[in-house]
Structure 1
Amino acid sequence: MKEQSYAKHTKYQPLQHFVWLPLSVMLLLGTLTYFIYSMMKSRFMIENLLLLGIVVLAIIPGMLARMYAIRLQDRLIRTEEQLRYFMLTNKRLDSRITMQQLIALRFAQDDQFVELAERTIAENLSPATIKREVQTWRADHFRV
């Protein structure tokens, strides 16, 4: 697997990002253009409205699938990082750490994780700052 770092840790799903999303945008824009053109020509037909509705309904499941997968992974990351903090310190992780901060903290190796988590609480570090502070990157190749 490729080595990750702050500069190159984002992940693209080719089918999602380069096929489904652009095609969905083009289909929606094309349908909206056709619908508006028909309305301007005073040729409103219920079929045009139904076509627009079908296109929107076809796009929604793809968006929901992505949102649900990311939400589930966020919950798993929260549980894993809380357990990791507890195993390293024998204390519970401070509840002031936000989900986005916790997601950023997951990239820190154990030897830096506790110190960085405590700095995050004390200084309210942004997720981007947390990621930049990680010296030894702990890769996550399973993020959707």
Structure 2
Amino acid sequence: MNEQNYKNHRKFYPPHHFVYLPLLILLEIYGIYKIWDDAEHQLTWILFSIVIFLLFYLAVMLRQHYALGLQNRMVRIEFKQRYFEIFGQRSDEVADKLRFDQIAALRFAYDDEFRDLLHKAIHENISGDMIKQSIKKWRPDHQRV
């Protein structure tokens, strides 16, 4: 496995992203094409296209909603635990000053960079993307959903 960094840290689930969703897209295109091509069964193809679209929408939204909701909660807990391990105190006040994108980005920094980037996030309000780009030694996260 390649070393994780800013350019390659996103993760795909091949059966979902490269098989199921493209298949639904192709079926949707076919259904829309058949609406005009098969006038005799136009209503059937309209219903077919609506069902395929709803399956596509449901697949995207449910997968993302459940997985990301749980992952976001775990990232916040990880931040609080890590903050306590580094600074020896509760992080509630600090965590309230940060946006989620900043908290999520800080998990890619090792402890030595974590302190400096946390300070910048709080005092300079740098974005999560800027935090990620500022990391010199990337701490990989191979358990992402």
TM-score by length of 1: 0.83
CA separation in 2, counterparts of 1:57 and 1:7?
33
> Which position in structure 2 is the counterpart of 1:140?
141
SS at match of 1:95: helix
> Which position in structure 2 is the counterpart of 1:8?
8
**Aligned-residue offset at 1:71:** 2.0
Q: Please say if residues 34 and 42 of structure 2, whose CA atoms lie closer than 8 Å, have aligned partners that are also in contact.
A: no
CA separation in 2, counterparts of 1:94 and 1:142?
22
Query: 110-119 or 56-65: which moved more?
Result: 56-65
Poorly superposed stretches of 4+, deviation over 6 Å: none
**Aligned-residue offset at 1:38:** 6.1
CA separation in 2, counterparts of 1:47 and 1:133?
54
Structure 2 spans left out of the alignment, 5+ residues: none
Q: Please say if residues 105 and 113 of structure 1, whose CA atoms lie closer than 8 Å, have aligned partners that are also in contact.
A: yes
**Aligned-residue offset at 1:120:** 0.6
What pairs up with 1:1-144 in 2 under 5 angstroms?
1-35=1-35, 37=36, 45-63=42-60, 64-89=62-87, 90-92=89-91, 93-144=94-145
TM-score by length of 2: 0.82
Give the aligned residue type for 1:4: Q
Q: Percent identity?
A: 35
Query: 75-84 or 62-71: which moved more?
Result: 62-71
What's the CA shift string for 1:9-38, capped at 9, x where partnerless? 222222222212222222222222323x16
Quick one: structure 1 residues 8 and 65, their matched pair in 2 at CA, closer, same or farther if it must change by over 3 Å? closer
Which structure's residues are more often helix, by fraction?
2
Give the aligned residue type for 1:59: F
CA separation in 2, counterparts of 1:101 and 1:32?
42
Aligned length: 141
